[in-house]
Amino acid sequence: MKAFIVGASGLVGSHCMSVFKDHNWEVLGSHLSFATEHTVPFNFLEDDLEKLFATHSFYPDVIIHCAALTNVDYCENNVDESYEKTVLPTEKIVDYCRLKNVGLAFISTDYVFDGTSGPYREDAKVNPLNVYGKHKLECERLVSTLDTNLVLRVTNVYGEEARSKNFIARLISDLQNNVSKELNLPFDQFATPIYAGDIAKMTLMLIEDNKKGIYHLAGNDYYNRYQLAAKVGSYFSHNKLHLTPVKTSQSNQAAVRPLNGGLLNIKFLGEYPKFTFENVDSFIFKVTKHEL
């Protein structure tokens, strides 16, 4: 089987690349600005999927769409650009998949919910509070018009990545390098962090089993941002991390955040009861095991 991964230079996409390859899939992955030895350039604003596949003589059975404008506050301040870089490319990918009868897995977010009663099940009522969430919901609706579709909602993704962009990996790296850090972090924004490698494994299992529709991919952790950073800091005895818990309303973020967010993995675990999740502790332990 063949998969094309849009955004394979990113956190989720790079883990999908390696997991699918490890399971003997033929994989083509794309980057925009961060070229890797495993990816080909593809800008969904300018490039054409049919041409890309013809160039590489690669005709996928499934596309895993992991690319979007992911800076939530930037999206809030740049509504048209967010639409152009999130909704329009997804529409093009959906059109291609419909035309060529290709399956599509789309990575979405818990920001489709308003955070009044999370963590959420798949059938909970959506009500996005910000532009990013609204545009991801528009994408979900487009994707769900395909016969073979998966909408995979995730939140607070962490994991090893070349650029260490994600919150947990960056914090660990700073603490390993004894960097002094002062962070004001909201104590009232809760979510369910998930390891990018687990997202990749779950995505593979769902695709191989021909599953369809919405799945919430979440680990078993449930933390607010402040707790999450404090947990990471607790593994480094002489750290220079200074954390101040703040209310979200004090943090001057452009986009309104869902407070009691996060996702429940009950549906996934009902179908795959033996799946074991990485958690924040096991991840920190894994990446620091030579030092602690």
94: which residues sit within 8 A by CB, 6+ positions away?
Answer: 104, 142, 143, 145, 146
Angle between helix 196-208 and 11-22 (nearest 10) = 50
- Separation in Å, CA 268 to CA 55, 108, 122, 152, 252: 37, 16, 10, 11, 36
Residue, CB closest to ligand NAP: 10
> By C-alpha distance, which of 94, 89, 92, 64 is closest to 4?
64
Residue whose structure tokens are 């991964």: 5
- Separation in Å, CA 16 to CA 72, 107, 207: 23, 11, 12
Minimal distance, residue 290 CB to ligand NAP, in Å: 26
Q: Which is nearer to ligand NAP, 4 or 239 (CB)?
A: 4
Q: Which is nearer to ligand NAP, 34 or 74 (CB)?
A: 34
Interaction site with ligand NAP (CB under 6 A): 7, 9-13, 30-34, 42-45, 66-68, 70, 85, 107, 109, 154-157, 165
Minimal distance, residue 25 CB to ligand NAP, in Å: 18
Tell me the H-state helices in 85-190: 88-100, 131-143, 167-176
Q: Which is nearer to ligand NAP, 143 or 287 (CB)?
A: 143
Q: Which is nearer to ligand NAP, 74 or 187 (CB)?
A: 74
Minimal distance, residue 131 CB to ligand NAP, in Å: 12
Q: Which is nearer to ligand NAP, 44 or 239 (CB)?
A: 44
Residue whose structure tokens are 């769409």: 65
